[in-house]
Amino acid sequence: MTEQAPVLILLFPFLTAIVVALVGIRIKTVCWPLVLLSLAGSVWASLVTLVRVIESGTISYKLGGWDPPMGIEFRIDGLNALVAVTVTIVALLVAIYSRDGVISENKNKVSQYYTLFLLLIAGLLGMVITGDAFNLYVLLEISALTSYALLAMGNIRATLASYKYLIMGTIGASFYLLGVGYLYMKTGSLNMVDIHEQLIVNHLDGSSTILVGFILITVGVWIKMAFFPLHAWLPNAYAYAPTTSSAIMGPLVTKVMIYVMIRMVLTVFGPVYAFEVLNWDNIIVWLAVIGIVAGSIGALAQKDLRKMLTFLIIAEVGYMVGGVWLADETGMVGSIFHIISDAFMTLCVFLFAGIIYTKTGRRDINAVDGLFKKMPLTMIGFLVGAFSLIGIPPTAGFFSKWYLIQGGINSGNWEYVVALLFSSLVNAVLFFRIIEIAHFGAKPVEGHDAHHGDDHAKISEGSFTQVFPLLATAAIILGLGIFNKEIVSIIQDFVSQFNLVAGI
């Protein structure tokens, strides 16, 4: 059964989505356990695939029994095995969290909500493991559609935001489709590795169709990823969405799009083409730098807790895009590791925001008033996430920043290093502002020994299904930080095969 694992990762959420759609209408309570079961199954399948990839290198799983260029195939190597494992684990954690969130916010649409939730995860997983460019478009469309719907189920502000998201998302996806069309025109094949071979065989580097195809694909992916100049739709899209939707989309959707970009740059176009022939990667690094700075400053200006976090995502996207376009091996390793560590960090912080919202019903930053005493567990979870976002040593965030800065220095883009440091400082200010309010209480009280008014007495610790995922994520962040050697070695031997020149 294990050699079927690649497809099982996808099948579990997919089939259960349909079962939930059919059965869920009648019995609402059955939805949640089903969702959990399916996601646990897909976590198992992705882990098995990861182990097989480590042992036997890249796996190629032919769908429908046809050999690659004719039929579609899954091509799983170090990179997407790791990303698949991250996606499934994050999905499982959010599923556990979602029980109270979904029931409290859209009580009568529980079965629809969970179907879309599972389809979103199936779409993302499909995008991660597929080896076929057009298939990636179809799955991209599925995850986009489900995310529009998940957003639109929130309050009215979320519906308006999801409308904007729909328009921008469709433009992004259509650009990607156009780009694939251009590639198909010149190479005649849709399978990623095949396209790459064709590009080299008929040495098409010169032709401007490939160049435009490359631009279209990268721009399309950037729009979906909310990279700086094209990020307008992200902030209020995630801020007003139902808590569970923002908790699942925050960490995953942008990260998978970054994975798609890396896959395109490395496997399809090849680093030689993407970095040397085009050689405007320095411009992109500058774009990323502006993105990081803008994201951080944007976050500073926000009062609403979740909107602040969405601006942080924009800054993180800037990290990763900058890391990739440094055209340097350590930078690339750093950005891939950042995908994994950042998915968990953002998840931890979004879960925290979700718990605060369900508990206090308030969105703004002062909602955290004096919570150190009342919700110590949640606060500890939040602390680990915040430290990791700032980059305090033992956490994963520190190590990903460590590689990124190293890459920056190697490739001589000093502005990138400065931007990274600046944004970690801004993160520090942001999170300590929250910790301070949590520690003291919103209103500064005079006098020597201030005991807070205990009007918040009724707020007790979040329910188990909410706090457990938060603490689990915090543990994973710490674990990633300490045991990052193994993960990095997997990434290393994935990146080394493209023998990126270490620093131009």
Residues 338-397 binding another protein (CB under 8 A) are 387, 390-394
Enumerate the β-bridge partners of residue 76: 59
User: Is residue 14 at the binding interface for another protein, with CB under 8 A as the rule?
Assistant: yes
Choose which of 36, 44, 54, 174 interacts with another protein (CB under 8 A).
Answer: 174
Give Cα 62 distance to the centre of its chain.
27
Q: Which is nearer to another protein, 93 or 340 (CB)?
A: 340
Contact pick of 44, 52, 141, 380 for another protein (by CB under 8 A): 141
Main-chain dihedrals φ then ψ at residue 132, nearest 5 degrees: -120, 130
- 93 or 222: CB nearest another protein: 222
Q: What is the DSSP string of 366-385?
A: GGGTTHHHH-HHHHHHHHHH
> For another protein, which is the closer residue by CB, 59 or 367?
59
CA quadruple 261, 262, 266, 271: dihedral sign: positive
Q: Least distance to another protein from the beta carbon of 108, Å?
A: 3
Is there binding between residue 187 and another protein (CB under 8 A)?
A: yes
Tokens of 338: 């950042």
Measured from the CB of residue 470, what is the shortest distance to another protein in angstroms?
20
Closer Cβ to another protein, 64 or 361, answer by number: 64
The DSSP string of 252-320 is HHHHHHHHHHHHIIIIISHHIIIIIIT--HHHHHHHHHHHHHHHHHHHHH--BHHHHHHHHHHHHHHHH
Q: Which residues within the stretch 422-481 sit at the binding site for another protein (CB under 8 A)?
A: 424-425, 428-429, 432, 436, 439-441, 444-452
CB-based burial label for 215 (10 Å; 0-12, 13-18, 19+): middle
Using CB under 8 A as the binding rule, the residues of this chain from 103 to 132 that contact another protein are 108-109, 111-113, 115-116, 119, 122, 126, 132
List Cβ neighbours of 111 (8 Å cut-off, separation of 6 or more): 20, 21, 23, 24, 25, 28, 31
Please state, in angstroms and rounded to a whole number, the distance separating the CA atoms of residues 302 and 469.
26
> How many Å apart are CA 489 and CA 305, to the nearest integer?
36
402 near another protein (CB under 8 A): yes
Handedness of CA 26, 28, 29, 33 (dihedral sign): positive
**By the rule CB under 8 A, 484 interacts with another protein:** yes
Which of 47, 54, 58, 170 is the binder for another protein (CB under 8 A)? 170
Binding residue count for another protein, defined by CB under 8 A: 115
- The CB-of-191 to another protein minimum distance in angstroms stands at 9
> Using the rule CB under 8 A, which residue among 4, 104, 460, 497 binds another protein?
4
Which residue's structure tokens are 């502002």?
433
- Is there binding between residue 486 and another protein (CB under 8 A)? no
Q: Are 222 and 258 in contact (CB under 8 A)?
A: no
Q: Quick one: which of 45, 82, 129, 177 contacts another protein (CB under 8 A)?
A: 177
Pick from 37, 51, 66, 464: which binds another protein (CB under 8 A)?
A: 66
208 belongs to the binding site for another protein (CB under 8 A) = yes
Length of the chain: 504
Compute the least distance from the CB of residue 457 to another protein, in Å: 16
Nearer to another protein (CB atom), residue 93 or residue 332: 332
